């Protein structure tokens, strides 16, 4: 197999894995609605069983870079497919809370493999970094977007056990196809020489510290905004829309933000990353501040601006790891990047509850805007420090 063919196949399966990763984690929150009456357990008790899965999703991303150096990235991604499939089939056969919690924990552990490993594989095989990161983001968002609807349909037609079993079988099939069609990690550089060259900097530790703060603050902004957005629209849009229209409107805002990742991908291939980071980050506090201070259409405009910046930053962050971290350390760097983002963002729900109790959703949005301001400050600092480096990142022509 030629290196170019191996790279194309690898990127295809990395995209499929991204969609499945977000899909499988969101099956349970919808399936639990059908599970509660059949198992004779309250919704509150059942939904709490998923805590371990989401905690593991963040915590277990940290050692994946280390594991990839011993097992290989291709082998770890295969374990992701097969492990998630087995966990979902286990959930489809479970009937008691301890067994459900156990399989959910297993699902969280295997799902933690994707982001650090998949991201490292993608940037190693891409010929157009920004373009491929943008499309990869869209695949992940499609997985998250379809999870609730597909799960609800399967549960209504064939029962909640089938809602777990069906994606479990899909994961196993995808894993088998991946093993058959992608024989190894390969030498991506032979096909894509120079696609993601490392940019030398004079103050790497300073840039690393700035980037780490931006990741933590960005994770908080992302989760506070995405979790609160549907209810914010319901309470503060002021148009008297029924829930049947408020839900699709919230989805439209999310989709708009997600599609911004394609635009960011194009910009990454044309302009310097520090400049893109600073310009994009400015929209977060502006959009959230506008939303916090208004209702109606201005509120909607503010939320759209904020979501565009928040989703776009995901692509920029992954591109920055690809451009500033040597290839041999990227898997570990992505492990730390996602560990910081996923773990810190676990505080989003308590923050929403605290801020809402003191000042309603305006206080929630101002709180998110404060974290957005921290991201913007980090972006400006990163731009200034990177501008003092010995060599600047060259713009990549189309």
Which CATH number belongs to the domain containing residue 114 in this structure?
Answer: 1.20.1250.20
Residue 196, domain member (yes or no) = no
Both 266 and 147 in one domain: the answer is no
Both 101 and 164 in one domain: the answer is yes
Please choose, from the candidates 142, 289, 288, 152, the residue with its C-alpha nearest in 3D space to the C-alpha of residue 226.
Answer: 288
- For the record, the structure tokens of 2 come out as 């030629």
Residue 199, domain member (yes or no) = no
Distance CA 300, CA 295 (A): 8
Both 30 and 151 in one domain: the answer is yes
Residue 394, domain member (yes or no) = no
Both 179 and 263 in one domain: the answer is no
Residue 323, domain member (yes or no) = yes
Residue 266, domain member (yes or no) = yes
Residue 90, domain member (yes or no) = yes
- From first to last of its 398 residues, what are the pLDDT tens digits of the chain? 788 889 999 999 999 999 999 899 888 887 888 888 888 888 778 877 888 888 888 889 889 888 988 898 999 999 999 999 999 999 999 989 999 999 999 999 999 999 999 988 998 898 888 889 889 988 988 887 788 778 888 988 999 999 999 999 999 999 999 999 998 876 544 444 444 556 666 677 888 889 899 999 998 898 788 777 767 877 777 666 554 555 566 667 777 777 888 888 888 888 888 899 999 999 999 999 999 999 888 998 999 999 889 888 888 888 888 888 877 788 788 888 888 887 776 677 688 878 888 888 899 999 999 999 999 999 999 988 887 654 444 443 33
Both 229 and 101 in one domain: the answer is no
Give the pLDDT score at 86.
98
The domain boundary residue, chosen from 138, 157, 191: 191
The domain boundary residue, chosen from 125, 157, 191: 191
Residue 126 is part of which domain span?
Answer: 3-191
Domain count, the chain: 2
Both 130 and 270 in one domain: the answer is no
Both 28 and 145 in one domain: the answer is yes
Distance CA 50, CA 96 (A): 13
H-helix segments, the chain: 3-25, 27-39, 43-48, 51-59, 64-71, 73-93, 97-111, 114-125, 129-158, 160-181, 188-191, 204-236, 243-268, 273-281, 283-292, 296-324, 330-344, 348-387
Give the pLDDT score at 90.
97
Distance CA 206, CA 121 (A): 26
Both 214 and 170 in one domain: the answer is no
First to last CA, the chain: 28
Give per-residue burial for 96-115: e unless 16+ CB within 10 Å, then b. eeeebbbbbbbbbbbbbbbb
Residue 197, domain member (yes or no) = no
Please choose, from the candidates 57, 19, 112, 119, the residue with its C-alpha nearest in 3D space to the C-alpha of residue 333.
Answer: 119
Both 217 and 72 in one domain: the answer is no
**DSSP state, residue 202:** S
- For the record, the structure tokens of 145 come out as 């977007």
Both 185 and 214 in one domain: the answer is no
Q: Is 189 exposed, middle or buried (0-12, 13-18, 19+ CB in 10 A)?
A: middle
Both 136 and 250 in one domain: the answer is no
- The CA-CA-CA angle for residues 49, 58, 322, to 5°, reads 155
pTM of the model as a whole:
0.77
Both 95 and 24 in one domain: the answer is yes
Residue 133, domain member (yes or no) = yes
Q: Tally Cβ neighbours within 10 Å of residue 338.
A: 26
The domain boundary residue, chosen from 191, 218, 241: 191
Q: Radius of gyration over alpha carbons of the chain, in Å?
A: 21
């Amino acid at each position: 197999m030629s290196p170019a063919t191996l790279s194309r196949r690898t990127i295809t399966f990395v995209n499929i894995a991204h969609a499945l990763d977000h899909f499988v984690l969101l099956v349970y929150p919808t399936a639990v609605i059908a599970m509660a009456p059949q198992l004779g357990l309250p919704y509150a008790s059942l939904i709490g069983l998923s805590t371990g899965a989401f905690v593991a999703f963040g915590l277990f991303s940290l050692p994946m870079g280390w594991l990839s150096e011993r097992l290989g990235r291709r082998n770890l991604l295969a374990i992701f497919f097969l492990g998630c499939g087995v966990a979902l089939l286990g959930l489809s056969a479970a009937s008691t809370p301890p067994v459900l919690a156990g399989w959910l924990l297993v699902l969280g552990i295997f799902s933690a493999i994707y982001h650090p490993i998949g991201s490292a594989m993608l940037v190693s095989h891409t010929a157009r970094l920004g373009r491929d990161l943008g499309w990869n983001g869209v695949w992940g968002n499609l997985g998250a977007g379809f999870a609730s609807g597909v799960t609800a349909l399967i549960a209504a037609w064939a029962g909640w056990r089938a809602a777990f079993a069906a994606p479990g079988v899909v994961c196993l099939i995808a894993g088998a196809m991946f093993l058959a069609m992608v024989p190894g990690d390969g030498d991506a550089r032979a096909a894509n020489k120079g696609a993601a060259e490392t940019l030398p900097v004079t103050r790497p530790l300073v840039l690393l510290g700035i980037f780490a703060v931006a990741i933590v603050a960005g994770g908080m902004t992302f989760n506070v905004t995405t979790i609160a957005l549907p209810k914010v629209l319901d309470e503060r849009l002021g148009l008297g829309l029924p829930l049947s229209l408020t839900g699709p409107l919230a989805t439209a805002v999310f989709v708009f933000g997600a599609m911004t990742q394609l635009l960011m991908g194009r910009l990454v291939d044309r302009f310097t990353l520090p400049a893109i980071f600073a310009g994009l980050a400015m929209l977060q506090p502006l959009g959230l501040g506008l939303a916090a201070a208004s209702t109606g259409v201005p509120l909607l405009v503010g939320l759209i601006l904020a979501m565009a910046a928040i989703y776009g930053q995901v692509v920029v962050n992954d591109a920055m790891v690809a451009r500033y971290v040597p290839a041999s350390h990227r898997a570990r760097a992505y492990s730390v990047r996602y560990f910081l983002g996923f773990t810190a963002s676990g505080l989003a729900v308590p923050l929403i509850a605290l801020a809402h109790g003191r000042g309603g959703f305006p206080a929630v949005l101002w709180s998110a805007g404060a974290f957005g301001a921290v991201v913007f400050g980090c972006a400006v600092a990163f731009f200034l420090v990177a501008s003092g480096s010995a060599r600047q990142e060259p713009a990549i022509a189309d």
